[in-house]
Structure 1
């Protein structure tokens, strides 16, 4: 019996360790980031009624405005049909499910890309983990699943699903790790500076739909989408991207590309003037869709020296804020 009690105690400690990181960010009165040893507050959301709240938005609303302490919102498995906003005055929130395919946030709005998202993250220092975030509206209109407009946002092992404009990666510095992102048209779009590490992009396009629509407007902006070590699959055919902004910047490095990627690789959206200004690069990609012999001449086959700056978190100043 004593052995069983010790085992139970050990399991409890492991569970606490999984919830509480060794170090978590905290803002000082001067706004600088310092370190803290534990979560200030843990909130449980359970739509069966067994948690602190039954709705995710209610848990977010319970975080005080101008929050300066790390808050962990644990979402129990279930389907949460609600539209969620993390407002800009509530930073340092972690929203975590248990498994992405068991913790589902869903809505079905369409139209305006800033109003249709199922989840809108406007706050800085946000972390999302083990969640499915989906917009089930379908084809025919813009229907964003996830909008990310806060700075220093990170997503781990999330599933982000829609048809058009799935992920509005609007602005700020962001990190996506081991995420699954699905859509048909411009399904990773916006003007953030974002590193996508080991992410799976799945195109549901039936005819040449673009994966990315990056919105960099000037050569001076330090923004772009950088995909490293992931894979691209799909149902029929797609291109890697098209220029929402004239200085659009997208790099794929060490990425598996299935045959759904068309030989030309990239699309100019009917704007040949962007051929001189976009930065579309590929480095050590592989698979049947990675063959570059028929690529558009205004895309780039990067050297190791050219590619390396895009392959680490330095492009998003990650060493200063990424904690996992």
Structure 2
């Protein structure tokens, strides 16, 4: 980022990272479900070559008990894991952590339905994904989701999320993405979550008329929407910033570098002019050759500082109550989570 808008951006970063910094785990806000020791996590190792507790990621997740109440840190050693993975709703407090996204890859090849095609589906609350590549290699002919996030209070750090159509189904809940690379062509960030994307790179594969976002807010009472803060937009052809999957679709780009991949009009109405009066599409202090708003559609907005401010803080996603640092102590997995918990109680 250049000097343009740096002072206000720095202020927002202080707001955003006064509570969390880089690698974090999450804590539930619901009474009675918070792990009593937030500094300690149970460590499960996954190594496809047999030098860990499990060879498959799904097997490690399956080892977490239903209604889990402990932080579980699943450390995935480098490799390419050809798995279709689900983190069930009854298994909160799970972290999947790779070594680096470049060498820790989760891949599958499925297309068609957005709810059944994902390579990784997260239904559980209080989930963290770190330093992983999550990809769907199905191709260009069908919707093919790489990652679906439907659990509340989920965060992703340094991940690479790759497909072509509907790459990231940011489905429901409050979510946070930091320094992630997200690639696709058509509606490749879609869904109805309330999410902040901080310093992420959005890379469009669209040759023409593709869309980065398709946010699905369907009512003015829903507190959902996507904020892209300090991000970078690149690509190979031409694309729109977004189009309205829902009538009250809400997307904000703030202090983001926009390359000339974005067409001058900026936004598409999905051939429904009735949505012009209900969508909320805003830009605030963006820069780059695609950031000129003089030819933007009239139903989008250039936001003032006061208008943009509510979308540039973790309060938008309730983050002050659930973003936490990564545990500093680890208990080794000994065959079952219950045995580790019992051993801890007897210490």
With normalisation by structure 1, the TM-score equals: 0.91
Tell me the C-alpha RMSD between the 2 structures. 1.7
**Could you say which structure has the greater relative contact order, defined with CA pairs below 8 angstroms and 6 or more residues apart?**
2
Distance 1:249 1:26 in 2: 27
Structure 2 residue runs of 5 or longer lacking an equivalent are: 1-21, 326-347
Question: Is this contact kept in 2: 1:39–1:71, CA < 8 A?
Answer: no
Question: Is this contact kept in 2: 1:26–1:36, CA < 8 A?
Answer: no
Distance 1:210 1:22 in 2: 30
Question: Is this contact kept in 1: 2:26–2:154, CA < 8 A?
Answer: no
Distance 2:38 2:295 in 1: 53
Cα distance, 1:25 vs structure 2: 5.2
Cα distance, 1:160 vs structure 2: 0.1
Aligned to 1:316: 317
With normalisation by structure 2, the TM-score equals: 0.85
Aligned to 2:263: 262
Cα distance, 1:41 vs structure 2: 1.0
Q: Once the two structures are superposed, what CA deviation does each residue of 1:98-119 show, in whole Å capped at 9, x if it has no partner? A: 1001000000100000000000
Alignment of 1:129-208 (within 5 A): 129-208=130-209
Aligned to 1:50: 51
Q: Once the two structures are superposed, what CA deviation does each residue of 1:25-83 show, in whole Å capped at 9, x if it has no partner? A: 56699435465243341000000111100000000000001001000000000000000
Structure 1 residue runs of 5 or longer lacking an equivalent are: 1-20
Distance 2:180 2:112 in 1: 25
Aligned to 1:119: 120
Cα distance, 1:312 vs structure 2: 1.0
Cα distance, 1:22 vs structure 2: 11
Distance 1:28 1:137, change over 3 A: closer
Alignment of 1:193-232 (within 5 A): 193-232=194-233
Distance 2:30 2:174 in 1: 22
Distance 1:29 1:195, change over 3 A: closer
Distance 1:80 1:38, change over 3 A: same
Question: Is this contact kept in 2: 1:276–1:298, CA < 8 A?
Answer: yes
1:94 counterpart SS class? strand
Alignment of 1:55-94 (within 5 A): 55-94=56-95
Distance 1:27 1:268 in 2: 37
Distance 1:122 1:35 in 2: 23
Distance 2:306 2:29 in 1: 38
Q: Once the two structures are superposed, what CA deviation does each residue of 1:178-233 show, in whole Å capped at 9, x if it has no partner? A: 00000000000000000000000000001120000000000000000000001000
Distance 1:152 1:43, change over 3 A: same
Q: Once the two structures are superposed, what CA deviation does each residue of 1:220-253 show, in whole Å capped at 9, x if it has no partner? A: 0000000000100000100000000000000000
